[in-house]
Structure 1
């Protein structure tokens, strides 16, 4: 029944996709984040919906239904083209006999295609709003499912990942869900219909409960940092503090003893075998990078047995730590920074950190341009703040998970750039800072 209902919905959505390329693009993004086939068990379980809507979108572009001349030239596009060129070389020169190399290179190519065509579609306020909606209804619905289970079980629910996706365990899923919280908050503030605003408030609350009850230390750190930054930067201080106190209250009521025991091990990292295993994986990743400083070892080479065996005793950049030579099987990097370092070398990590830093700078520039003299653009300032909070949360939560190629963070960086362009074009020339004539 579930498969049939969703298939019927997709049939109804098809005419909308062909009628308007933006609709096809939004469905492409939504199916990529929701991964609806992970919830099916019948004839829809193998349906390649994301590929199908990607094909429709790209076909409409090729057929001229979207004017290429409408493409908004921007710096992030050039950063991304440089990044994908570097990824291609890292893939080509990576260690052999690594099936993950081709798998993750394909992931990067697909996500880059999606974000690189975004400047064709996202130009006006309603376009930004629509992209936020697909993120909330994509990532957020995973949070609703786990949040409701956590409430129904009084905190006893064990979060699992989303099969067949980068959110395939609870740590990855928790970090990903934190990124959706600022998006849901923005939509709860700016949606016109009261019932829609209420829906996004419920989405935010249940997703936060899912993260707090999920038992992921990375997710807990990410949502804690998000809450602190949210209170500090928000223009709605009373609301921000109220939400923060509500989250603390809900956490104290729902969190079972096993969860608090697990989180308390954050303070006991030196005696935590799981943490020591991660540090060893970080050490191996740095050793790979030192051996291959420009292009790295290829995607997830650290998880390849021959590579792990070669470098497991190498000191790398963490030789000052007293760590044993591991006897266990290869481990994932468990950190976006060490993941990128081992995969793409120092150059790849530098490119990534450059466009992330540029996105944070864009937020500062947007806020400076809008100031207090453009109340009609306060929505853009609030959106920039929410994008900023999501990126900061990713940088914190990502320190404990291998989620460097998660599509949403690349979307946020591009959205911040397009938002800056929109603000610059919306502010009358007389209000923009004048160039100095030295």
Structure 2
């Protein structure tokens, strides 16, 4: 039954995509973020996401929407990063190992480029934001209920066989969407939707705590601190956060409290030491292969790791850092492009937010820019201890910042051009009237 429902709904979405390619892009985002086919066992393993991607790309070309493709700095950086990953794969030390991750990352970047180009207009834009929040928020609400039902005795995990399966990854992903929940609440007109988003926000906090992830808890604290610093009603915000967090933390078992206390004793924690070993290995691999790196996640290979550090290769596995993953896999140039993408996206959002006093700029634009900055900061700090560089969620936020910047510029320029054109028409009209008046006077 699940299979029939999923296939029928997907087929309807793809039919709609033939006329409206963005509908297909939303379906692609849904499959990427939620992987619903994993819950339909009969179609599990069927490459539905590949089929959806193919239909979206074909519809994008056939519909003529591709003619609206515009290069901007963020799009250019994404394409440059994809190109550098391709070069790294060509010179990979173990291409058969890195190929699966390269393929996954390239497909993700293709999707992100399309998001940056197709999320034009408020309706499309907010539809994509709702897709992110609904997809991650569903699992967050489910995790919160699980935490409350088990009295926090067990860790909340993400969906199996996905990027977010690990409790650390899942917790940081939920922390990343917290600012977007506030954005949607500000945009919602229906009071029940506003209340529902507040409930979702509270459940998301409970889910983050329920992951037992120290990295996710730090990301939550970063969000709270960043939001408090920039909020106008600081004490009201602080009281609201404490009203949710204090009962939740009190509710958690003593094991959770002991685990969180080890944050201040990281140098004595085996898990943290293992991460440091992985960081050192990726640094040494990048130093040995500074231009292209060794190929995505080849540092996981014990034989490759032993070429630079025999002792640490015995314990180090995943890089546990988006930055060291990229550094070891694509070298210093790849990391530079990757960091440039983060920095430029943040500065672009900042520039839109600073333009909020411009009467031509719609409030929803600077509001999203305001909250998107928070999301990027939360993920950038949380991602320093996790291997989430291939997660679509934060990249979608970067793509939306790119689209937002283009929308803001495109909507302001025509107004200026229209004003200039009107002035020109008025000048030509007055000139013509004066000429006619002079001709009439001469005739008399």
TM-score, normalising length: structure 2: 0.88
Structure 1 residues 327, 297: closer, same or farther in 2, change over 3 A? Answer: closer
5+ long unaligned stretches in structure 1:
314-324, 431-438
Contact 1:213 1:254 (C-alpha < 8 Å) held by counterparts: no
Deviation at 1:3, TM superposition (A): 4.2
Q: Give the Cα–Cα distance (whole angstroms) in 1 for the partners of residues 236 and 394 of structure 2.
A: 26
Counterpart of 2:154 (choices 157, 170, 174) is 157
Q: In structure 2, what is the equivalent of residue 105 of structure 1?
A: 102
Q: In structure 2, what is the equivalent of residue 341 of structure 1?
A: 327
Structure 1 residues 263, 3: closer, same or farther in 2, change over 3 A? Answer: farther
Q: Give the Cα–Cα distance (whole angstroms) in 2 for the partners of residues 74 and 187 of structure 1.
A: 26
Contact 1:209 1:250 (C-alpha < 8 Å) held by counterparts: no
Alignment of 1:273-352 (within 5 A): 273-313=270-310, 325-326=311-312, 328-352=314-338
1:162-189 CA distance string (max 9 Å, x none)? 2222112111111112112111221122
1:253-301 CA distance string (max 9 Å, x none)? 3322111111111111121111111111111111101100111111111
Deviation at 1:248, TM superposition (A): 2.2
Q: In structure 2, what is the equivalent of residue 128 of structure 1?
A: 125
Q: In structure 2, what is the equivalent of residue 401 of structure 1?
A: 386
Q: In structure 2, what is the equivalent of residue 44 of structure 1?
A: 43
Q: In structure 1, what is the equivalent of residue 430 of structure 2?
A: none
Structure 1 residues 216, 424: closer, same or farther in 2, change over 3 A? Answer: same
Say yes or no: does 1:358 pair with 2:344.
Answer: yes
Structure 1 residues 195, 10: closer, same or farther in 2, change over 3 A? Answer: farther
Q: In structure 2, what is the equivalent of residue 316 of structure 1?
A: none
Say yes or no: does 1:411 pair with 2:396.
Answer: yes
Q: Give the Cα–Cα distance (whole angstroms) in 2 for the partners of residues 240 and 70 of structure 1.
A: 42
Q: In structure 2, what is the equivalent of residue 392 of structure 1?
A: 377
Q: In structure 2, what is the equivalent of residue 319 of structure 1?
A: none
Deviation at 1:326, TM superposition (A): 3.4
5+ long unaligned stretches in structure 2:
418-444
Alignment of 1:186-205 (within 5 A): 186-205=183-202
Q: Which has the higher helix share?
A: 2
Q: Give the Cα–Cα distance (whole angstroms) in 1 for the partners of residues 73 and 210 of structure 2.
A: 39
Q: Which has the larger radius of gyration?
A: 2
Structure 1 residues 426, 161: closer, same or farther in 2, change over 3 A? Answer: same
Q: Give the Cα–Cα distance (whole angstroms) in 2 for the partners of residues 214 and 236 of structure 1.
A: 30
Q: In structure 2, what is the equivalent of residue 27 of structure 1?
A: 27
TM-score, normalising length: structure 1: 0.89
Say yes or no: does 1:76 pair with 2:74.
Answer: yes
Structure 1 residues 344, 374: closer, same or farther in 2, change over 3 A? Answer: same
Q: Give the Cα–Cα distance (whole angstroms) in 2 for the partners of residues 414 and 90 of structure 1.
A: 24
Q: Give the Cα–Cα distance (whole angstroms) in 2 for the partners of residues 327 and 107 of structure 1.
A: 25
1:202-251 CA distance string (max 9 Å, x none)? 22221221111110111111111011101222356465334322232233
Q: Give the Cα–Cα distance (whole angstroms) in 1 for the partners of residues 374 and 116 of structure 2.
A: 22
Structure 1 residues 84, 237: closer, same or farther in 2, change over 3 A? Answer: same
Q: Give the Cα–Cα distance (whole angstroms) in 1 for the partners of residues 335 and 206 of structure 2.
A: 33
Q: In structure 1, what is the equivalent of residue 231 of structure 2?
A: 234
Deviation at 1:56, TM superposition (A): 1.6
* Count of residues in Structure 1 that have an aligned counterpart in Structure 2: 416
Which stretch shifts more, 11-20 or 272-281? 11-20
Q: Give the Cα–Cα distance (whole angstroms) in 2 for the partners of residues 46 and 338 of structure 1.
A: 31
1:356-379 CA distance string (max 9 Å, x none)? 1111111221122222x4386222
Say which SS state the counterpart of residue 43 (structure 2) adopts: coil
